[in-house]
Amino acid sequence: MLYSKLMKVLIKIKLDSIAWSIRRLYCPVDKNALVLEVGSGGNPYFRSNILCDAYIDTRERHFAKLIHDRPTVLAYVEDLPFKDNTFDFVIACHVLEHSKDPEKFLNEIQRVSKAGYIEVPDAFLERLTCYLDHRLEISDINNELVITKKTGYVHDENVRELFLNKVSMVFPQIVRKYPFSFHVRYYWNKNEGGIKYKITNPDYKFNWDSPQIHKEAKKNKINIRSSLTSMFIFLLRQFFSQNKRNRHIDITRYLHCLSCKSDKFEWNMELICLNCGKKYPIIGENIINFTN
Ligand SMILES: [Zn+2]
Ligand SMILES: [Zn+2]
């Protein structure tokens, strides 16, 4: 609660960008709550106990290295390998907008968790910036998520052209100064009716992919500033995460088989479902792969 109060004060005195960084320390649960993060990627929330991402390496998160310093599974949010109501809270930060099936995505996080937090770029920001690999435009209107499936990488060529002409040069500074106005931050709780949302074009089926531009250039760019930032975040992670607790989590207690939903597993180089025999490979030391 301390952090949410601090954020309010900072916003009041117009230090929105500092409040914005602090939001990542705020998670409205007590210290015993079990927290899942989906789309945890290269910079998970400190409070997350179990991490879930669909990829080891992907452009969807600009090739940021997957952090797996806690129990970690590789899985699609639309098909999570966890039992019902396993978690007290689920964090989904900048991941819903990548989904091709938002309905399944939102059903799954509500199946496995009692409450949660969703953060995405606001539809207006998305309309202008047209981020690669974003498939949804999302806004929150009267505490309801309004979701539109993008029917192409660029929604409006003319708006995009005008934006790139002049405004795009100063735009990042404006977003950094007023981040709360350009993002959706949505808290939900099943006791209060769960996630309220509507999809404006539910029947649309995706038939496009983002252009493959600047792929290698971005991947190989070594940037001193970003190295320092990730070192700093690494240190913060050591300090603020529940490292000791996370080390002792037996993740198999929370898992179920994606094929038969059985929760009986055996470790034998891989994770093997004792009911149907399906095998889930282990990547590295601790990442269980549920994506194939
Ligand atoms: Zn994104
Ligand atoms: Zn099975």
Domain ranges (residues) in the chain: 2-242, 256-292
235: part of which helix (H) or strand (E)?
A: helix 224-240
User: In angstroms, what is the span from residue 276 Cα to ligand 1's centroid?
Assistant: 36
CA of 82 to the centre of ligand 2 (A): 13
Residues around ligand 2, an ion, CB closer than 5 A: 257, 259-260, 262, 273, 275-276, 278
Q: DSSP 3-state assignment of 263?
A: coil
Which ipTM score applies to this complex? Answer: 0.92
Query: Whole-angstrom Cα distance, residue 233 to residue 239?
Result: 10
Q: What is the mean pLDDT of each run of 10 residues along the chain (292 residues)?
A: 88 92 92 97 95 92 90 98 98 97 98 98 95 94 97 91 94 94 97 98 92 60 80 89 95 97 95 97 94 90
Q: Which ligand is nearest to the CA of 262?
A: 2
Using alpha carbons, select from 262, 238, 251 the residue that is nearest to residue 288: 251
Residue 18 alpha carbon to ligand 1 centre in Å = 21
Q: Please report how many Cα atoms fall inside a 13 Å half-sphere around the Cα of residue 210, on the Cβ side.
A: 19
Nearest to 44 by CA among 56, 52, 54: 52
CA of 94 to the centre of ligand 1 (A): 5
Options 3.40.50, 2.10.25, 1.10.10, 1.10.287; which CATH number does 2-242 get? Answer: 3.40.50
Name the token pair of 27: 């998670």
Distances, alpha carbon 233 to alpha carbons 46, 158, 178, 200, 238, in Å: 10, 39, 22, 38, 9
pLDDT of residue 64: 87
* Ligand minimally distant from the alpha carbon of residue 266: 2
Closest ligand to Cα 41: 1
pLDDT value, residue 1: 74
Distance between Cα 278 and ligand 1 center (Å): 32
For residue 104, give the nearest of 163, 58, 70, 147 by alpha carbon: 147
Ligand nearest the Cα atom of residue 132: 1
